[in-house]
Amino acid sequence: MNDQALLRFSRQIMLEPIEIEGQERLLASHALVIGAGGLGSPVALYLAAAGVGRLTLADDDAVELSNLQRQIAHGQADIGRLKAESARDAALALNPDCRISAITERLDGEALARAVEAADLVLDCTDRFTSRYAINAACRAAGRPLVSGAAIRFGGQLAVFDPREPESPCYACLYPPGAPGEDEELRCAENGVVAPLVGLIGSFQALEAVKLLSGAGSAHQGLSTFDGLKGEWRRFRVPRDPDCPVCGQY
């Protein structure tokens, strides 16, 4: 690190669980953020600001006026732009030394597998079960940690799935394919969401990513849910399912 980097990240470097070694690990790391909307916005901004050296932002959608209520990486002038490119520019404005790539096509199949394989960690900021299952399977196959977040109406949740840990479950252990509610999309367009909620859950995702990449502390365990109307967090244990169709084969 040069003097400017030491100054930029000084408030993290002074933290004993991170220090210079942890910050250097962040600078050498690569995070894949899938979804550059409500959750992906704070994730991209905080990871760039915190010093993650390389980010890949994937989203095939364009910015609309209704997004601006909560998707803080985008502004009025970005309406009509692709979200991955708009979020990339917003993150670069915070930290121009971060290497950021924008993928403006939907990641699936081999393209998803390659993108996951190229990253050290994946953050699922999507809003469809189909996408979540595909991302989970790709992370299991590549052995990459997955930080999953969701937010709808006044409620949110976060879980970390780390295939490097033998007892870690995967997303399919939590929500088995074919279970009731699988076909119910988690989209804000149909259900609505209060603006700060996505910032709260996205920030939680970014925090877990910083911990995992820097080696600070221990990763989140189980499932945490947040009730925004009551201001209450709850945590649930999520055991690994030995019969899981995804992680049961590993």
Examine the residue annotation and report whether 188 is marked as an active-site residue of this protein: yes
Terminal CA-to-CA distance of the chain, rounded, Å?
39
Active-site residue (options: 98, 125, 188, 247): 188
Torsion of CA 183, 186, 190, 195, to 10 degrees: 170
- The label of the residue with tokens 């990253």 reads 119
Amino acid at 133: Y
Question: Which residues sit opposite 99 in a β-bridge?
Answer: 54
| Six token digits for residue 140 | 């299991």
Give the Å distances, CA to CA, from 21 to 25, 52, 90, 99, 177: 6, 13, 27, 20, 40
Give the Å distances, CA to CA, from 201 to 4, 46, 126, 210: 30, 12, 12, 14
b/e code 115-150 from CB counts within 10 Å (16+ = b): bbeebbbbbbbbbebebbbbbbbbbbebebbbbbbb
The half-sphere exposure of 129 on its side-chain side, counting CA atoms within 13 A, is 14
Measured N-to-C along each axis, helices 129-142 and 109-118 cross at an angle, to the nearest 10 degrees, of 50
Active-site residues, by number, are 188
